[in-house]
């Protein structure tokens, strides 16, 4: 489905209509021929689909009506940005899936109780990554004094992009889950922390990474990014 923004005609489009895909990058709007992706049914795809199925069933059959109402209230109170940069409001089910899908992938506790603070966690402006080809480790720098790091149930989830040639200046996938940095009340982890790379990295490659912060009440931040050149 394409999103269309009208003004004195069509101002901006994002998505696919018929055989064309419309999008925008830092150089402006563009259109390309639509390609139908293959479905390789990888282990990762199967894991994510199973997690999604689990959470959809849980929303319908495990959560109480009061809990679903609470998530819907949260969704109607928290503005999000769509692909056109416009403010939209997700449903409670969207937020429940958005928050808990990462928790299931990280083998963390599923949060059924709805958030009672109606705002997203803030991004970490100090977030930075570096990668070593020798160790195949990604080093993650973050604000160790951030609230999520001093609460049991808080997390920072990290994803790594597929390594690119050094001259590449734009990247939007594919991404692969690296791991989580768990918070703990009274004993926050120091910064930086290291995690095994999700892709094999070679010296000189340009690599992007992004993170999201989840608070113990299930609120999940927007994505924030950083990039680096892999060292030897």
Q: What is the pLDDT along the chain (232 residues), one digit of tens a residue?
A: 555 565 555 656 666 776 666 666 555 566 666 666 666 666 667 778 888 999 999 999 999 999 999 999 999 999 998 877 788 999 999 999 999 998 888 878 899 999 999 999 999 999 999 999 999 999 999 999 999 999 999 999 999 999 999 999 999 889 999 999 999 999 999 999 999 999 999 999 999 999 999 999 999 999 999 999 999 9
Is it true that domain 128-229 has CATH number 2.60.40?
Answer: yes
C-beta of residue 220 within 8 angstroms of C-beta of residue 108: no
Question: pTM of the predicted model, to two decimals?
Answer: 0.80
DSSP 151: S
d(CA 90, CA 93): 8
Tokens representing residue 134 in the block: 């020798």
User: Residue ranges of the domains in the chain?
Assistant: 3-33, 43-105, 128-229
Instruction: State whether residue 48 is helix, strand or coil.
Output: helix
C-beta of residue 111 within 8 angstroms of C-beta of residue 71: no
d(CA 95, CA 232): 41
Tokens representing residue 115 in the block: 């958030």
Tokens representing residue 146 in the block: 């951030």
C-beta of residue 78 within 8 angstroms of C-beta of residue 88: no
Which helix (H) or strand (E) element contains residue 101?
A: helix 92-105
- Beta bridge partners, 23, equal 30
Residue 198 CB contacts under 8 Å (≥ 6 apart), including other chains? 138, 159, 160, 176, 177, 178
């Amino acid at each position: 489905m394409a999103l269309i923004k009208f003004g004195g005609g069509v101002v901006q489009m994002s998505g696919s209509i018929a055989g064309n895909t419309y999008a925008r990058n830092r150089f402006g709007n563009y259109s390309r021929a639509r390609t139908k992706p293959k479905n390789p049914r990888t282990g990762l795809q199967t894991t994510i689909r199973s997690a999604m199925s689990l959470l959809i069933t849980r929303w319908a059959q495990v959560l109480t009506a009061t809990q679903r109402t609470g998530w819907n209230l949260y969704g109607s109170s928290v503005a999000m940005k769509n692909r056109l940069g416009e403010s939209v409001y997700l449903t409670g089910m969207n937020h429940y899936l958005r928050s808990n899908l990462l928790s299931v992938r990280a083998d963390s506790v599923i949060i059924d109780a709805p958030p009672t603070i109606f705002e997203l966690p803030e991004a970490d402006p100090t977030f930075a990554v570096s990668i070593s080809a020798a160790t195949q480790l990604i080093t993650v720098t973050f604000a160790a004094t951030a609230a999520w790091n001093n609460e049991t149930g808080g997390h920072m989830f990290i994803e790594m992009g597929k390594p690119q040639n050094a001259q590449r200046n734009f990247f939007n996938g594919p991404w692969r889950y690296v791991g989580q940095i768990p918070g703990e009340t009274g004993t926050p982890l120091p910064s930086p922390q290291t995690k095994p790379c999700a892709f094999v990295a070679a010296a000189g490659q340009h690599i992007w990474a992004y993170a999201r912060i989840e608070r113990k009440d299930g609120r999940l931040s927007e994505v924030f990014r950083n990039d680096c050149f892999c060292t030897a």
